């Protein structure tokens, strides 16, 4: 069953990110008695000046009706960077989503018919409650907030993305993980009919895509489940209908199009670690002091770049989120546990 409807990917960025929109929203936020300082605290993620913005949309809301209703209640969240967001047209056309191809524009080109509604998520493993749930029932329990986070890819490019979603910890706690739950494992949909690269004998990585976090990492307030960007539903190429966002780790930890979340005793084997454990570790914390075997991680190209400027910026330890996450690794040698 395929229902044609306008997708976020169909909307021109000029309709979404106009200064007027920001300005109007700021007026509303100020009228609500929330100053820029209240919205921006604590200051993490690089820039310490500038006003924290609320990126909403004037374009028609996309996604299923239940999500559109929910998006109307979107509020600015804590922990947003004050750096300005990368324009929507870059966020939604420069992607890594190997299931739809390995070129940067392949995901946007090849995912437009990807069916993401209805969608079910299974919660399994070491917890009091487990089961399979409609995405709507999961999302409706949470308040949707906007988090403007830096996203640093291991390939040394970066963006700033206004995500829409809710803290991962709020979801996990509902299932009452038991004392054996030491890790959380995430799995992407496996459906070679819809995701052509999954059926290829020459696939770059094993499918389904798997990621994982230690339980204390997963419970950190920055770990986020996103169902949208720029005040609207998640474009398919960005991991619709629900994806993880772990802003202090390299982008590959932020697994897309999640169908299963499992509490485990043992550290899960994750996709990029399986593919090449010398180059990609389980922790994958952003770290300018530990180079990738084939390139430096000391700086990054901040999108948008141009042929005239690669727009290099310095890479920050834990991608600028050290005040909120460095304690998780205080007894670890980050050169060995990369
Ligand atoms: N299932 C799945 N999740 C994935 C990937 C992927 O190929 N498949 N790529 C990862 C990588 S390497 C990055 S940098 C981010 C990119 O997210 P974006 O396209 O929304 O910027 O998604 C991550 N999540
Ligand atoms: Mo990445």
What pLDDT does 44 receive?
A: 62
Residue nearest to atom 20 of ligand 1 (CA): 238
* 312: Cβ contacts below 8 Å, ≥ 6 apart: 299, 300, 301, 302
Q: 179 CA distance to ligand 1 centroid (A)?
A: 31
Q: What share of the chain is helix, strand, coil (3-state, %, to 5)?
A: 25, 20, 55
How many Å lie between the centroid of ligand 2 and the Cα of residue 219?
22
Question: What's the pLDDT at 229?
Answer: 98
Residue from 245, 257, 292, 282 nearest 100 by CA: 257
Question: Residue of the nearest CA to atom 12 in ligand 1?
Answer: 252
Phi, psi of 325 (to 5 degrees): -130, -15
Element (H, E) at 70: helix 65-71
Measuring from atom 23 of ligand 1, which residue has the nearest CA? 252
The answer to whether the CB of 209 is under 6 A from ligand 1 is: yes
21 lies in a domain? yes
* pTM score: 0.88
Cis peptide before 16 (omega within 30 of 0): no
Q: Let me know if residue 115 belongs to a domain.
A: yes
Determine the structural domain holding residue 28 and report its residue range: 2-329
The reply to whether 247 falls in a domain is: yes
The CA distance from 58 to 18, in Å, is: 9
d(CA 313, CA 231): 27
On whether residue 336 sits in a domain, the answer given is: no
- Residue-level pLDDT at 57: 80
The reply to whether 335 falls in a domain is no
- Please tell me the total count of domains within the chain: 1
| DSSP labels, 252-296 | GGS--SEEEEEEESSPPP-HHHHH-TTT--SS-B--TTS-BTTB-
Please state whether the peptide bond connecting residue 264 to the residue before it is cis, i.e. omega within 30 degrees of 0.
no
Residue nearest to atom 1 of ligand 1 (CA): 256
Determine the pLDDT at residue 28.
Answer: 38
Q: Is the CB of 287 under 6 A from ligand 1?
A: no
Structural tokens at position 207:
């499918």
Report CA(136)–ligand 1 centroid distance (Å): 23
pLDDT tens, N- to C-terminus, the chain (338 residues): 333 333 333 333 333 343 334 334 433 333 333 333 344 344 566 655 667 789 988 889 999 999 999 999 999 999 999 999 999 999 999 999 999 999 999 999 999 999 999 999 999 999 999 999 999 999 999 999 999 999 999 999 999 999 999 999 999 999 999 999 999 999 999 999 999 999 998 898 999 999 999 999 999 999 999 999 999 999 999 999 999 999 999 999 999 999 999 999 999 999 999 999 999 999 999 999 999 999 999 999 999 999 999 999 999 999 999 999 999 999 999 999 99
Instruction: Give the end-to-end CA distance of the chain in Å, rounded to a whole number.
Output: 44
Instruction: Supply the pLDDT for residue 52.
Output: 74
Look at residue 272 in the predicted model and tell me its pLDDT: 98
**Tokens, residue 297:** 């991680």
Does a structural domain hold residue 237? yes
CATH number of residue 193's parent domain: 3.90.420.10
Q: How many C-beta atoms lie closer than 10 Å to residue 225's C-beta? A: 24
Index of the ligand 1 atom closest to the CA of residue 188: 1
User: Does any domain span residue 47?
Assistant: yes
């Amino acid at each position: 069953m395929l229902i044609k409807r306008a997708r976020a990917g169909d909307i021109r960025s000029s309709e979404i990110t106009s200064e007027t929109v920001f300005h109007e929203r700021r007026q509303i936020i100020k009228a609500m008695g929330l100053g820029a300082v209240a919205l921006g605290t604590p200051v993490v993620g690089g820039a310490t000046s500038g006003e924290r913005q609320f990126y909403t949309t004037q374009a028609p809301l996309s996604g299923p009706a239940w999500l559109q209703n929910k998006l109307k209640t979107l509020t600015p969240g804590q922990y947003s960077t004050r750096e300005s967001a990368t324009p929507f047209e870059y966020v939604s056309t420069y992607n890594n989503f190997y299931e739809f191809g390995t070129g940067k524009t392949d995901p946007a080109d090849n995912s437009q018919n990807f069916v993401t509604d209805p969608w079910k998520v299974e919660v399994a493993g070491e917890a009091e409650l487990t089961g399979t749930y409609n995405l709507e029932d999961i999302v409706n329990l949470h308040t949707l907030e906007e988090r403007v986070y830096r996203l640093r890819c291991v390939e040394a490019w970066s963006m700033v993305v206004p995500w829409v979603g809710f803290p991962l910890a709020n979801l996990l706690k509902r299932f009452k993980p038991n004392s054996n739950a030491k890790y959380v494992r995430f799995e992407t949909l496996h459906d070679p009919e819809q995701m052509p690269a999954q059926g290829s004998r020459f696939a770059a990585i094993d499918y389904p895509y798997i990621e994982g976090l230690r339980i204390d990492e997963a419970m950190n307030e920055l770990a986020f489940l996103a169902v949208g960007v720029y005040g609207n539903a998640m474009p398919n190429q960005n991991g619709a209908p629900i994806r993880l966002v772990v802003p202090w780790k390299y982008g590959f930890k932020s697994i897309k199009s999640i169908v299963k979340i499992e509490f485990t005793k043992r550290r899960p084997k994750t996709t990029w670690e399986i593919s090449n454990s010398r180059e990609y570790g389980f922790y994958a914390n952003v770290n300018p002091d530990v180079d990738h075997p084939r390139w430096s991680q000391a700086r990054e190209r901040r999108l948008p770049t141009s042929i005239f400027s690669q727009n290099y910026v310095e890479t920050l330890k834990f991608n600028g989120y050290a005040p909120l996450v460095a304690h998780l690794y205080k007894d670890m040698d980050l050169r060995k546990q990369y």
